[in-house]
């Protein structure tokens, strides 16, 4: 186990480096000159001479060779400095810190809700396979997968506005400042996000439960007269939850993409709504910061899940 863990931790670093290279390279090939965009404006209303553009490019450090730009950027990132926003001319790290907490809270809320509903749904489906209960719970779970979440979000916002006179509260309050207002703001977006994730959780739980229920050791457990509850929880669920936990880790990665749209629909001041603005401004310093921070969080989460996997499934660690 120690060798497996050491190997897994060692592999974390090349992956992280590779990720930063991909992120940096991606924004290097994206067309759209930031200097030009700042001077001319998005609609091209102002006029600027080519000299001005060249001067600004020099000031922003955009005229240096790519590997110099990359290494100086990486060095800053390692020291916790994600650079200065090209559009707002403000440090990215400070702004990102506040917004990231909002998005993390939203994601955790969504994952917890998905897990709390999805896992029991999957278990019921597997145990009552091919009955009406199974069909009902599967259709419910799949509805979440099939509903485009931005559409559901839009319908909820306009439905609440039309019938209940509710609008997303504009002033955001942190959880520890005003828990009620905070929950009021995050409840509906978390609900929408969890509904699209719950389907996957339930589906994986069901198929994994079904597979384990057909294993010999489950038959043995039943044959020796253990109660159905013990068979289900200790022999089946314990083994069947492994793939579900793996999926939950990756759902965080999916959520980081999903919040982009949902946050802007529900006016949540998280990373997502900032990302949309930054894409419109082609502010790639902000985008790089968002993606690198997100990637670091997800990679760490995956490392933890892989280590857990090794603890729980001995077959993995002896390879």
Partner 1 sequence: MLENQTAAEGARLLSRKGALIQLLGLLQSATRFGRQKPLGAVGGIIVLILLVLSVSAPVISPHDYRSPNADLVHEPPSSTFLLGTDHLGRDVLSRIIKGGQISLYVGLSSVLIGITGAFIIAVTSTYFGGIVDLALQRLVDSLMALPGLIIALAIIAVLGSSLNNVIVAIVIGMFAPVVRTVRSQVLSIKESDYVLAARAVGASSGRIVFLHIAPNCFAIYLILATFYLGAAIIIEASLSFLGVGSPPHIPSWGGMLSRAAEERLQTAPWVAVFPGLAIFIVVLGFNLLGDALRDVFDPKLRGR
Binding site residues, partner 1, CB under 8 A: 11, 14-15, 18-19, 22-23, 26-27, 29-32, 130, 135, 138-139, 142-143, 145-148, 150-151, 154-155, 158, 161-162, 199, 203, 207, 210-211, 214, 243, 246, 250, 253-254, 256-258, 260-261, 275-276, 279, 287, 290-291, 294-296, 298-299, 302, 315-316, 319
Q: Where are the beta strands (DSSP E) in the chain?
A: none
Q: Which residue lies nearer to partner 1 by CB, 143 or 226?
A: 143
| Residue that is written with structure tokens 């994206």 in the block | 30
Q: Which residue lies nearer to partner 1 by CB, 182 or 266?
A: 266
End-to-end Cα distance, the chain: 11
Q: Which of 300, 273, 118 is nearest to 200 (CA)?
A: 118
Q: Which residue lies nearer to partner 1 by CB, 8 or 178?
A: 8
| Least Cβ distance, residue 49 to partner 1 (angstroms) | 27
Number of DSSP helices (H) and strands (E) in the chain, helices first = 14, 0
| Least Cβ distance, residue 211 to partner 1 (angstroms) | 6
Neighbours of 247 (CB within 10 A): 19
Residue 291, burial from CB neighbour count under 10 angstroms (0-12, 13-18, 19+): buried
| Least Cβ distance, residue 210 to partner 1 (angstroms) | 7
| Least Cβ distance, residue 276 to partner 1 (angstroms) | 8
Q: Which residue lies nearer to partner 1 by CB, 181 or 303?
A: 303
| Least Cβ distance, residue 183 to partner 1 (angstroms) | 25
Q: Which residue lies nearer to partner 1 by CB, 186 or 290?
A: 290
3-state SS track over 245-280: HHHHHHHHHHHHHHHHHHHHHCCCCCHHHHHHHHHH
| Whether 203 contacts 209, CB under 8 Å | no
| Least Cβ distance, residue 247 to partner 1 (angstroms) | 9
| Whether 198 contacts 113, CB under 8 Å | yes
Give the C-alpha separation, 291 to 272, whole Å.
Answer: 11
Q: Which residue lies nearer to partner 1 by CB, 18 or 108?
A: 18
| Least Cβ distance, residue 171 to partner 1 (angstroms) | 24
DSSP-assigned beta bridge partners for residue 84: 91
Give the C-alpha separation, 236 to 34, whole Å.
Answer: 56
Alpha helices for 48-91 (secondary structure H)? 50-60, 66-78
Q: Which residue lies nearer to partner 1 by CB, 173 or 296?
A: 296
């Amino acid at each position: 186990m120690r060798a497996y863990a050491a190997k897994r931790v060692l592999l974390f670093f090349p992956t992280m480096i590779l990720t930063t290279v991909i992120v940096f390279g991606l924004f290097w090939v994206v067309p759209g000159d930031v200097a030009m965009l700042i001077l001319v404006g998005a609609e091209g209303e102002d006029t600027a001479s080519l000299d001005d553009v060249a001067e600004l490019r020099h000031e922003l450090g955009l005229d240096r060779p790519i590997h110099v730009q990359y290494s100086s950027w990486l060095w800053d990132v390692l020291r916790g400095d994600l650079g200065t926003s090209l559009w707002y001319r403000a440090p990215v790290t400070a702004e990102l810190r506040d917004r990231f907490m909002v998005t993390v809270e939203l994601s955790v809320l969504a994952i917890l809700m998905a897990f709390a509903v999805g896992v029991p749904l999957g278990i019921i489906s597997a145990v009552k396979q091919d009955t009406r209960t199974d069909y009902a719970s599967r259709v419910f779970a799949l509805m979440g997968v099939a509903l485009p979440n931005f559409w559901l979000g839009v319908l909820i916002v306009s439905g609440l506005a039309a019938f209940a006179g509710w609008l997303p509260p504009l002033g955001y309050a942190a959880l520890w400042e005003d828990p009620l207002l905070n929950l009021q703001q995050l409840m509906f977006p978390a609900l929408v996000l969890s509904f699209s994730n719950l389907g996957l959780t339930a589906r994986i739980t069901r198929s994994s439960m079904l597979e384990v229920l057909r294993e010999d050791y489950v038959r043995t457990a039943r044959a020796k007269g253990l109660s159905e509850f013990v068979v289900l929880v200790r022999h089946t669920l314990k083994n069947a939850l492994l793939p579900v936990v793996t999926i939950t880790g990756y759902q965080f990665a999916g959520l980081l993409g999903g919040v982009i749209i949902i946050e802007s629909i529900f006016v949540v001041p998280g990373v997502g709504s900032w990302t949309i603005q930054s894409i419109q401004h082609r502010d790639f310093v902000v985008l790089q910061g968002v993606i690198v921070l997100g990637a670091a969080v997800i990679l760490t989460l995956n490392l933890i899940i892989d280590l857990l996997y090794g603890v729980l499934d001995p077959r993995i660690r002896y390879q």
